[in-house]
Amino acid sequence: MCGFAGFSDYQEGLSGPPQHWLDLARRMARRIAHRGPDDQGARVSQNCALAHARLAVIDPDHGRQPMVLPFEGQETAIAYNGEIYNAPELRSDLESRGFRFQTSCDTEVVLASYLCYGPDCAEKLNGIFAFAVDDPVHQRTFLCRDRFGVKPLFYTLREGKLVFASEIKALFEFPGVQPVVGREGLCEIFGLGPARTAGCGVFEGIRELKPGHVAIFDRLGFRELPYFDLEAQPHEETYQQTVEHLRELLLDTVERQLISDVPLCTFLSGGLDSSVVTAIAAQRLKEQGRKLSTYSFEFEGNEEFFTPSSFQPDRDQAWAQRVSQTLGTDHTTLLCGNAALADSLGDAVIAKDLPGMADVDGSLLYFCKQVKQNHTVALCGECADEIFGGYPWFHRKEMFDGSHFPWSNNLDQRGGLLKPELREALAMEEYVGQRLEESLAAVPVLPGESPQEIRMRQIGYLNIHWFMSTLLDRKDRCSMWSGLEVRVPYADHRIAQYVFNTPWEMKCHNGEPKALLRDAAEGLLPSEILHRRKSPYPKTHNPGYEAILKERLTGVLRDSSQPIHKLLSEETVKGLLNQSFDYGKPWFGQLMAGPQLLAYLLQINFWLLRYNIHLSI
């Protein structure tokens, strides 16, 4: 995995001394050097500058970027971030067409695919990726992002130039790109956050290439085009055939994602999703005479203060140890304390350039730093709940009636945090309602499907396009902050497309949530692991953490120079500070309740201050 940045101009070109543009591209790349600590490179052509920071995972001794290949008398260049899991098949296909490879890097495979197939190359790639191609033959810059947006790619248009980068912070190095936030951005932060509308970069004029899209920039301007979305298709297999089909997909997907020339591990909570990935990975490595390393995460004091709930029925550690012992992995439990967790909130904002999932982000960032000390690649169980229907709102009708996003049905509480005059000016309820309406209108359905079937398609589609995107963004940014590559097997588009069209009665066979996945994994794990109740990503239950947050937020409220005073109703926030642990409905999903709301407000204040944001409303 890596990071890249660049800019292009097809009206005036990059006129003037090339060194000026080269230095600018390098400054942009230095802002995201954490994504690629192993090597840096930059290149300038007549119309396009590319800079790259590399994390070497495959063929570490080769594959420097930007990579250049000759084509029709010109030099075509690429800056690429990602991993292509069907690279061997693509390599064979391209070799049969006469291409001769010089490296074993998938970067060369991607660039060769572009030279062979043009923009249609996106449809041939199976993996997680974002890349930019400087194409002098067609006088254009080509951008591409993977189907579910695992890898980020932001851009802005400035005075005839396209400016792009893996992270927003790099864009601010380009002259004229300023951190301005208006109505749209504030509605995203307070109305939808930490989720984001696809394509929205929150800052004015900054966009993110949508998942499953490519973009072309040339003399005619900028055009963003889709190449993938979920499609509604009839499902004609029996339940047993579906189980067998899914098992084949799971085995193939995990095996493909084990390719690495550097140390590899898995995140293991002891829950169904991560345990299935770990079981397949451990078996494959065992066949190679290797032992899999696994990691689980815990918080200081949870052994004393943990309180079971319907969302989080038990702690992970005993389950993770049981799976590790069964599979014979080398297991490590990482522990995060109160102060470290609170201190990580700011780093998580810098990693994402935006407020995020509060300590859910901060703890992941902290844990990834620890994992990176011994490993460079990790596989995780993210995305299974979105695809197989594991969340409560899939099963409780009252949590999704089509009038709100099921993981964020607290607009009154969200709006109540704002100054009354700001809340009125933002018209946040209208903004969020429009985003929901647009999303529901995009849901593909089959003729003749019942209202119940349509509802389940809607909730599945929303979860993949909104909730899953939020978690994937979190996973990439918090892991790449430490130069750790985290892979997400369940986000393989073949699995997502297949399961999207599997009837709900199969996903929830005999009334058991995620029964399809459990049955597909039969024999890989002990029965008690396969049928363990869902328990989400762990959080701290230590009251000492809440005390730290209350102290810090109280300090912010007492300091009138803090930027968040322009936005918040101090009376409402003071009321929160005086409440007990339960602050009402979760801010987002299942985890962002209690102290996470205070942490989110601290993140917003830190963001406004650190990025010196100008509010234009």
60 pLDDT more than 80: no
Within 225-299, where are the H helices?
A: 239-256, 272-287
Cα of 178 vs its chain's centroid, Å: 24
Residue 593 is predicted with a pLDDT of 67
Q: Measure the CA–CA gap between 153 and 207, rounded to whole angstroms.
A: 9
Residue 443 is predicted with a pLDDT of 98
Q: Measure the CA–CA gap between 276 and 42, rounded to whole angstroms.
A: 41
Q: Measure the CA–CA gap between 532 and 322, rounded to whole angstroms.
A: 12
How much is the pTM? 0.96
pLDDT band at 71 (very low <50, low <70, confident <90, very high): very high
Looking at domain 242-530, its CATH architecture is 3-Layer(aba) Sandwich (3.40)
Query: 578, exposed or middle or buried, with CB in 10 Å at 0-12, 13-18, 19+?
Result: exposed
- Order of strands, sheet of 264-267, starting from the edge strand that comes earlier in the sequence: 330-336, 293-299, 264-267, 377-379, 485-487
pLDDT band at 1 (very low <50, low <70, confident <90, very high): low
How many helices and strands (H and E) does the chain possess? 25, 19
Q: Measure the CA–CA gap between 154 and 137, rounded to whole angstroms.
A: 25
256-307 tens-digit pLDDT: 999 988 889 999 999 999 999 999 999 999 999 999 999 999 999 999 988 8
423-461 tens-digit pLDDT: 999 999 999 999 999 999 999 999 999 999 999 999 999
The one-character DSSP state at 465 is I
310 pLDDT more than 90: no
Residue 463 is predicted with a pLDDT of 96
16: number of Cβ within 10 Å: 9
Mean pLDDT over residues 501-529, rounded? 97
Question: What residue has token string 């810059």?
Answer: 141
Residue of 193, 221, 234, 242 whose CA lies nearest to 470: 193
408-419 tens-digit pLDDT: 878 888 999 999
Q: What are phi and psi of 125, to 5 degrees?
A: -90, 130
The one-character DSSP state at 511 is G
528 pLDDT more than 60: yes
The one-character DSSP state at 613 is P
ω into 152 cis (within 30 of 0): no
The one-character DSSP state at 418 is B
Query: 220, exposed or middle or buried, with CB in 10 Å at 0-12, 13-18, 19+?
Result: exposed
Please say whether the beta carbons of 145 and 473 come within 8 A. Answer: no
Residue 510 is predicted with a pLDDT of 95
What pairing do the DSSP bridges indicate for beta strands 161-165 and 140-145? Answer: unpaired
Q: Measure the CA–CA gap between 287 and 306, rounded to whole angstroms.
A: 39
Residue 591 is predicted with a pLDDT of 64
Domain ranges of the chain: 2-226, 242-530, 543-615
605 pLDDT more than 60: yes
Residue 425 is predicted with a pLDDT of 97
Query: Residue type at 110?
Result: V
Q: What is the mean pLDDT of the chain?
A: 94
Q: Measure the CA–CA gap between 459 and 386, rounded to whole angstroms.
A: 9
pLDDT band at 592 (very low <50, low <70, confident <90, very high): low
Q: Measure the CA–CA gap between 261 and 15, rounded to whole angstroms.
A: 41
Residue 61 is predicted with a pLDDT of 67
- Residue 317 tokens, joined: 């550690």
58 pLDDT more than 70: no
Q: Picking from 11-20, 30-39, 341-350, 396-405, which range would have the lowest pLDDT averaged per residue?
A: 396-405
What is the three-class DSSP state of 270? coil
Q: Give the CATH number of domain 2-226; options: 3.60.20.10, 3.30.460.80, 1.20.140.90, 2.40.30.170.
A: 3.60.20.10
What is the three-class DSSP state of 419? coil
Q: Measure the CA–CA gap between 339 and 321, rounded to whole angstroms.
A: 26
Q: Which residues are designated catalytic? A: 2
